[in-house]
């Protein structure tokens, strides 16, 4: 339920209303809208008498929200959310270009790639320290050591870092990580989401392989309900019957999510198609569809990558994509 | 199997080769490549001795084609296919803008919409005369009369027309239709495809709701195998678990199809999302991803449309899309 | 909408009611229920005043039917439909055992297989004359000659025959076929369904690869709306992301369909899994789940079959399945 | 790779072989087959010279295993695995009947239901203490207190208990739980699987909403690779386009899994269809298809259940199902 207040609401009335709601165990999430204040109510609002509230002088309008998600709902928070990450951001005017290898393999590798993607226009460095592998016999990642190397790369280049956490028990190691990633297979790891809700770090939440848009938003709601409002939604392809690509990039997710929610939306074209040579095309489609950023796997020697080599592109290819993104974005802004 | 001939092959040798192949019941599809001639072989090539052919003076190289589709295969025909439709085309420099109502409802309606979309930049007019309806109690279309009205609209505006045929038995009525559409539910109506293979009209082949890329190409192969090379592939969204949109637009289908086949690829953003307000965004994504054209449902009064009202856009919205397509295409050409 | 009449309704009142409804262009489908008569109304019933009808002496109750399908709806026709096929039936006490090769290959082959499956307990012989092949280069079936051979096999064994029609234009050849099959890829070939609605032959309607239960029922509705009430529904596996089997047998379709509709439901375990060695297990599951019959591909030499060899079982394996079906059915009847 | 040894292998040769393999960092998993010993090799076997091993006197045959899963592979362990749980078992002659409420709500509720399902033939009691809820605002379960109540119910009835763990951090609370369940959404929570691999408790592993059979087996492999061989696989319906049921029960998973793996397979018909009245039918299908057990949600007052009421059945309905299972199983054993 949202209550839209008139401009300059009489303070005592407002205070009374807030106390009455809190007495019914309802949380109030106020947002400054463009012209007025919106009170987003979270809790059991079924017993709240709409007519009673509508009758108050300070109230412009009241509306029940059908969707099960509240905090992530654009009706609660009409303006786009912009998330600051060190000296860059995700969700505002700056298009987020997140790039780096699938996994951190060595100091030399990660620093080399970091420098190349930095030079090519990346705004954030990605790299896997803890890798979710379908097989227990596959390379599981360098773990804590991988995070240290990412921090070295950050020091060397100034790029903030994003990396995936696979379990609550690892969270201590993420103290200096700038953005924490929740992988597709952990999108409904509710315990992890609740814990990340207590953090104040930005969370990059990947859509599950077969998660509906609604489920993705509810997982974001878990994090926001814990108090952490810095959630970035990431579409990375969904599982379908088609086998020509590894997953099927759901390009409609961009306009659908941006209509339903105020959170920024980034696309991962690397995991979507799973094929390096399609990454440029899918990136252009994502930009044209209104994405706030992309996350691309870049490796200086894909054939020797310890994971996901076939979908990784080389630094010079990334440079081309980066320049094309800028060109395309300039045009997108000109469109009617 | 494809045989690449050297430049200026000695004619007698070439004749001998062709006769030998025909003697084994193998059809030869010659294509002028950029620098050389390619002979595409269709038939049981398992008994053809590759080494024997490779040894011929006139032969540059021989290669077995893994894919079950031959004629549609880009390996058979490296250059993009451009299909002429009256004074416009699909697949070349001209971006095909196919627009019109879901179904033809009256002379006034179709002529009004035709004039508006023409003014807005449409290159081809669409309109349903025979409608595939899930329910036998729903409006089934005006039938032959609908085609007559489309022809009147063509006369009034100069726009060539595309409309769907639902059954072989209706084909006689399509004598003056410029492009014949095969609907998603008919993509594997093999009898219909075989018959259309005997026609020399361009065929707009829609991907089935759950057809794989491979199955779409094999259906195109049915038509080409019959002798009709003018096939346009159309991605219109596939069926998945997601319910936020009517179907899931498979944007990757564009680069995948254009890599595997020489046939033009158009996108139908109206049926994909099934929601009018997402049509502009999906159209931009399609253009950015390299589509050769789009097909959009336009109605001057969507709330009164006899079918698919919720996904139809108004003529002025189509005009905006049309202008944006031109702006975007100019930029896409500039990309590296 | 359905109207349940009280026992022994006063005739003049009933006549008035029927004329009033017909005057509104509504068709009446009467069914003798167990204790009373049910009038199923088909047409635009939105303007029918429920209270007015409820007030009539002869009326027990009135109810709007939410589902878009009427004739196939069990609410219209509470008792199970039993379809007679020569000296056997589908849908009643006799469990339909439909068996035969994927395609008719020769007189010797079809007669040999017919005799073997007959001896093993088959009630109906299947065999493809017109084959839907994904590739235009694959064996397309013997066509009309194949139907002649099936009729010879019928003459030799007494087994009625079921075979697939692929297009309206072939219907003349099916004059002596006992049951006409509509393939999965033709489930929404609406022209074909309308035409079959004019026939009085039983129609075996296969569920489309990605058709919902609702769409399957609407396709059956097309046939029934044309006047042909002899429709058998066939679940043959749906398309999903799983590749361990060719399709995924939707076993829940049996209880769901039997709850929603009065039409008989048979299962095709051969196309479902696509793997011969799983056919026995899936058949047992289908029997236990309440299916009215099964359709199994049987070939005396699967390795040489011209199509679908890997999913065909041998006659002796079919004999075992047939006996097991009888044993299992006896037990299913004993269950509480 | 598996090595099949001849009967009574010469001990010194065997010792030499084992040391040589260990020297290459390959783990040996020996299994007593019906007539011979099988050595299952886990590790990088690409450098192992098959011919060298085949030449040894003690070796009957050597074969590379294509599948990425080894320990779960039936080729490694040809006999069915039977897992003891207190005084009952899963996987052998005893058909596992796991029943209980979706969530533990109170001492009175869980004890009442436990007594009723015990009397009806249940072999194991289920009940959720930690609930995975899509919404952060929904009832999350009683937590540790819920486990205590389950233990009270165990004390009162003698039924062993199975309950879901949602995160590593909760494991301490599960010290007295008999079987630990990994929920569908945690099937690829690799950290959790690794940790459970160190436990010696039986693990009930639920198939993910869109997990392939292969991925399910690899998750089981994670647990077995950690040293815990007591894994029970559970099919609970997969996500598809069909909405008539909550999920689509993949009945083929039973024969496919039992062919690929030696681990027991149970079915959850409650979550599959999501509709209480279909639970009996799906249970019968599962029994007929060869499942080793079923897990059913039972509540004495479904309309008041705190979660999943619509799919819960009442105790007397469970009693009927239990009796029918026994009747059906007796028949299944008689089948040829």
C132 with C43, same domain: the answer is no
Longest pairwise C-alpha distance within chain A? 68
A144 interfaces chain D, CB cutoff of 8 Å: no
CA distance B265 to B274: 20
Please indicate, yes or no, if residue A68 is contained in any of the structural domains: no
Distance from CA of C211 to the nearest CA of D (A): 8
B218 interfaces chain C, CB cutoff of 8 Å: yes
Task: Give this prediction's pTM.
Answer: 0.90
Distance from CA of C273 to the nearest CA of A (A): 16
Q: What is the 3-state secondary structure (H, E, C) of D158-199?
A: CCCEEEEECCHHHHHHHCCCCEEEECHHHCCCHHHHHHHCCC
C174 with C283, same domain: the answer is yes
C58 with C108, same domain: the answer is no
D242 interfaces chain B, CB cutoff of 8 Å: no
Please indicate, yes or no, if residue A308 is contained in any of the structural domains: yes
| Best of C134, C224, C247 to mutate (most B CBs within 10 Å, chain B) | C134
Containing domain of residue D55, as a range? 2-63
**Mean pLDDT throughout C194-222?**
97
CA distance D190 to A138: 12
D290 interfaces chain A, CB cutoff of 8 Å: no
Compute the mean pLDDT over every residue in chain B, rounded to the nearest whole number.
93
Q: Please check the confidence at residue B254 and state whether its pLDDT lies above 80.
A: yes
Interface contacts B/C by beta carbons within 8 Å: 82
**pLDDT, tens digit, for every residue of D119-146?**
999 999 999 999 888 888 888 899 999 9
Please indicate, yes or no, if residue D329 is contained in any of the structural domains: yes
pLDDT-based confidence at B63, cuts 50/70/90? confident
- What are the Cα distances from residue C82, in Å, to C202, C231, D121, D236? 11, 10, 38, 34
A320 interfaces chain B, CB cutoff of 8 Å: yes
Q: Please check the confidence at residue B212 and state whether its pLDDT lies above 80.
A: yes
Please indicate, yes or no, if residue D71 is contained in any of the structural domains: no
D331 interfaces chain C, CB cutoff of 8 Å: yes
D255 interfaces chain C, CB cutoff of 8 Å: yes
CA distance C321 to C284: 8
For D204, the token pair is: 């009930």
CB contact under 8 A, B240 and A243: no
Please work out, in degrees rounded to the nearest 5, the angle formed at the alpha carbon of residue D20 by the alpha carbons of D14 and D26: 105
Q: How many CB atoms lie within 10 A of CB C58?
A: 19
Compute the mean pLDDT over every residue in chain D, rounded to the nearest whole number.
93
Count of residues in chain D: 336
| Best of A43, A133, A134, A170 to mutate (most D CBs within 10 Å, chain D) | A134
Best CA proximity match to D181, nearest among D211, D209, D149, D203: D203
Please indicate, yes or no, if residue C161 is contained in any of the structural domains: yes
Distance from CA of D284 to the nearest CA of C (A): 6
Q: Where are the beta strands (DSSP E) in B37-190?
A: 37-42, 59-63, 83-85, 88-90, 96-100, 124-126, 161-165, 179-182
Q: Which chains touch C (3 or more CB pairs under 8 A)?
A: A, B, D
Please indicate, yes or no, if residue A75 is contained in any of the structural domains: no
Distance from CA of C29 to the nearest CA of A (A): 40
D239 interfaces chain B, CB cutoff of 8 Å: yes
* pLDDT of A33: 66
C57 with C193, same domain: the answer is no
CB contact under 8 A, D214 and C241: no
| Best of D239, D241, D247 to mutate (most B CBs within 10 Å, chain B) | D241
DSSP B67: S
D19 with D147, same domain: the answer is no
Mean pLDDT of residues grouped by 10 in chain A (336 residues)? 89 91 89 80 82 88 87 93 97 96 95 97 96 83 94 98 94 97 96 96 98 97 95 98 96 98 98 94 98 96 82 95 97 93
**pLDDT, tens digit, for every residue of D210-219?**
999 999 999 9
CA distance A153 to A146: 11
Domain with residue D38: its CATH number is 3.30.70.1140
C162 membership: H or E segment, kind and range = strand C161-165
CB contact under 8 A, D241 and C288: no
C250 interfaces chain D, CB cutoff of 8 Å: yes
**Mean pLDDT throughout C46-67?**
86
Q: For C247, name the nearest residue in chain A, comparing CA atoms only.
A: A241
Q: Nearest by CB to A251, which of B210, B282, B287?
A: B282
Cβ contacts of B215 on chain C, cutoff 8 Å = 134
DSSP D45: G
Distance from CA of A325 to the nearest CA of B (A): 9
C221 with C305, same domain: the answer is yes
The proportion of chain C whose per-residue pLDDT surpasses 70, expressed as a percent, equals 99
Question: Starting at the edge strand that comes first in sequence, how are the strands of the sheet with A37-42 ordered?
Answer: A27-32, A37-42, A2-5, A59-63
| Best of B208, B211, B241 to mutate (most D CBs within 10 Å, chain D) | B241
* pLDDT of D199: 97
Q: Please check the confidence at residue B206 and state whether its pLDDT lies above 70.
A: yes
Q: A37-46, B145-154, C181-190 — which is least confidently predicted?
A: A37-46
**pLDDT, tens digit, for every residue of C127-137?**
999 988 888 88
Cβ contacts of B210 on chain C, cutoff 8 Å = 209-210, 239
* pLDDT of B302: 84
CB contact under 8 A, A278 and B289: no
**Mean pLDDT throughout C216-245?**
96
**Mean pLDDT throughout D247-255?**
98
**pLDDT, tens digit, for every residue of B88-98?**
999 989 999 99
D33 with D89, same domain: the answer is no
SS3 C305: coil
Distance from CA of D287 to the nearest CA of C (A): 8
**Mean pLDDT throughout B250-265?**
98
Please indicate, yes or no, if residue A74 is contained in any of the structural domains: no
**Mean pLDDT throughout D109-122?**
97
Cβ contacts of D251 on chain C, cutoff 8 Å = 249, 251, 282, 285
A319 with A192, same domain: the answer is yes
Measured between its terminal Cα atoms, the distance across chain A in Å is 34
Cβ contacts of D242 on chain C, cutoff 8 Å = 212-213, 238, 250
CB contact under 8 A, B239 and D240: no
B55 with B119, same domain: the answer is no
The residue among B63, B91, B115 that closes a domain is B63
* pLDDT of D34: 66
Q: For B136, name the nearest residue in chain C, comparing CA atoms only.
A: C222
Cβ contacts of C222 on chain B, cutoff 8 Å = 136
Look-up of token digits 């953090």: A199
The proportion of chain C whose per-residue pLDDT surpasses 90, expressed as a percent, equals 74
Q: Nearest by CB to A222, which of D136, D193, D215?
A: D136
**Mean pLDDT throughout C307-325?**
93
Interface contacts A/D by beta carbons within 8 Å: 81
CA distance D229 to D223: 7
| Phi/psi-derived region of residue D100, left when phi > 0, alpha when psi is between -120 and 50, beta in every other case | left
> Which parts of chain C fold into alpha helices (H)?
11-23, 50-54, 107-120, 144-157, 190-196, 213-225, 253-260, 269-273, 279-288, 315-334
C264 with C308, same domain: the answer is yes
A7 with A135, same domain: the answer is no
CB contact under 8 A, C285 and D281: no
Q: Which of B21-25, C43-47, D25-29, D316-320 has the highest mean pLDDT?
A: D316-320
Q: Nearest by CB to B213, which of A242, A284, A324?
A: A242
Cβ contacts of B242 on chain D, cutoff 8 Å = none
For C2, the token pair is: 């359905």
* pLDDT of C33: 66
A244 interfaces chain C, CB cutoff of 8 Å: no
> Taking a C-beta distance cutoff of 8 angstroms, is the pair D38, D3 a contact?
yes
* pLDDT of B33: 66
Cβ contacts of B239 on chain D, cutoff 8 Å = 241
Please indicate, yes or no, if residue B76 is contained in any of the structural domains: no
Q: Where are the beta strands (DSSP E) in chain A?
A: 2-5, 27-32, 37-42, 59-63, 83-85, 88-90, 96-100, 124-126, 161-165, 179-182, 203-206, 231-235, 265-267, 293-297
Domain with residue C125: its CATH number is 3.20.20.70
* pLDDT of B34: 66
Cβ contacts of B239 on chain C, cutoff 8 Å = 210
Cβ contacts of B248 on chain A, cutoff 8 Å = 238, 240, 248, 250, 252
Q: How many CB atoms lie within 10 A of CB C260?
A: 19
> Taking a C-beta distance cutoff of 8 angstroms, is the pair D249, D273 a contact?
yes
D42 interfaces chain A, CB cutoff of 8 Å: yes
Cβ contacts of A273 on chain B, cutoff 8 Å = 252
Cα four-point dihedral sign A315, A318, A324, A325: negative
SS3 A303: helix
* pLDDT of B325: 98
Q: For A246, name the nearest residue in chain B, comparing CA atoms only.
A: B252
B186 interfaces chain C, CB cutoff of 8 Å: yes
CB contact under 8 A, D332 and C284: yes
Asked whether this complex has an ipTM greater than 0.95, the answer is no
Domain total of chain B: 2
| Best of A210, A240, A241 to mutate (most C CBs within 10 Å, chain C) | A241
Cβ contacts of B210 on chain D, cutoff 8 Å = 241
Measured between its terminal Cα atoms, the distance across chain C in Å is 33
B109 with B44, same domain: the answer is no
> Taking a C-beta distance cutoff of 8 angstroms, is the pair C291, C272 a contact?
no
DSSP D64: -
**pLDDT, tens digit, for every residue of C272-296?**
999 999 999 999 999 999 999 999 9
DSSP A246: S
pLDDT-based confidence at B248, cuts 50/70/90? very high
CB contact under 8 A, A252 and B241: no
């Amino acid at each position: 339920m949202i209550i839209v207040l008139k401009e300059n609401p009489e303070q005592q009335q407002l205070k009374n209303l807030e106390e009455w709601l809190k007495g019914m165990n309802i949380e109030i999430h106020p947002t400054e809208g463009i012209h007025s204040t919106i009170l987003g109510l979270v809790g059991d609002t079924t017993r709240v008498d709409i007519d009673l509230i509508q009758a108050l002088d300070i109230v412009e309008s009241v509306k029940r929200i059908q969707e099960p998600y509240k905090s992530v709902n654009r009706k609660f928070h009409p303006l786009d959310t912009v998330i600051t990450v060190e000296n860059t951001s995700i969700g505002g005017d700056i298009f987020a270009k997140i790039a780096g290898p699938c996994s951190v393999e060595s100091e030399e590798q990660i620093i080399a790639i970091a420098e190349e993607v930095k030079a090519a226009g990346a705004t954030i460095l990605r790299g896997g320290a803890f890798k979710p592998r379908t097989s227990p016999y596959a390379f599981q990642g360098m773990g804590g050591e991988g995070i240290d190397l990412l921090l070295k790369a950050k020091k060397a280049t100034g790029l903030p870092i994003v990396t995936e956490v696979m379990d609550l028990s690892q969270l201590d190691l993420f103290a200096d990580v700038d953005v924490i990633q929740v992988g597709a297979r952990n999108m409904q790891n509710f315990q992890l989401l609740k814990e990340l809700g207590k953090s104040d770090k930005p969370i990059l939440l990947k859509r599950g392989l077969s998660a509906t848009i609604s489920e993705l938003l509810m997982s974001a709601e878990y994090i926001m309900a814990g108090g952490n409002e810095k959630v970035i939604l990431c579409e990375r392809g969904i599982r379908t019957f088609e086998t020509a690509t590894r997953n099927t990039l759901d390009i409609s997710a961009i306009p659908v999510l941006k209509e339903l929610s105020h959170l920024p939306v980034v696309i991962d074209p690397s995991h979507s198609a799973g094929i390096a040579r399609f990454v440029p095309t899918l990136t252009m489609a994502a930009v044209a569809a209104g994405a706030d950023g992309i996350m691309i796997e870049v490796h200086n020697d894909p054939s020797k990558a310890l994971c996901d080599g076939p979908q990784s592109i080389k630094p010079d290819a990334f440079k081309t994509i980066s320049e094309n993104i800028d060109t395309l974005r300039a045009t997108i802004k000109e469109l009617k």
